[in-house]
Amino acid sequence: MTTRHAAASRTTSAAAGSWKAYGNTNPITSSSATWGCHGSVTIASSVLAQVCAVRSAGGGAVQAAVIVRNNRSTLFSVSAAADLWTSAGSLGDWACSSSGVGASSWSVCFGKSLPESAPVNSVGTANGVTLGKSSTV
């Protein structure tokens, strides 16, 4: 695969993603889906983010995700973007506009769920910080 960069500079053309708040529940361990993620990256003091590719429990659908963990005692505002890829090319890119992540909690920016059986990975950003490339699912 060729080197790819997250959609940080293209968020105006990206499709709208959607935020989901998880409170103090880890989104990965609470899900029946398979998550392939890059390691956590510090985007601000006491705030971590990681980019993931997510495959549904049944295996036939995929989506990009950016997980944000706010370890602060106050609300923290985050915008995020992610691209989803197969070896054949991009499946699309999504952006979640700025949203408050609650104190001591997780939130996830999800891209659209798409039917896809081929392996996928994702690259992303949070508040303009590059999060790397996820593992493949």
CA pair distance 33, 50, nearest whole angstrom: 16
CATH topology of domain 7-129: Immunoglobulin-like (2.60.40)
The residue ranges of every structural domain in the chain are: 7-129
Q: Per residue in 74-105, pLDDT tens?
A: 999 999 999 999 999 999 999 999 999 999 99
pLDDT at 66: 98
CA pair distance 29, 12, nearest whole angstrom: 32
Please check the confidence at residue 9 and state whether its pLDDT lies above 90: no
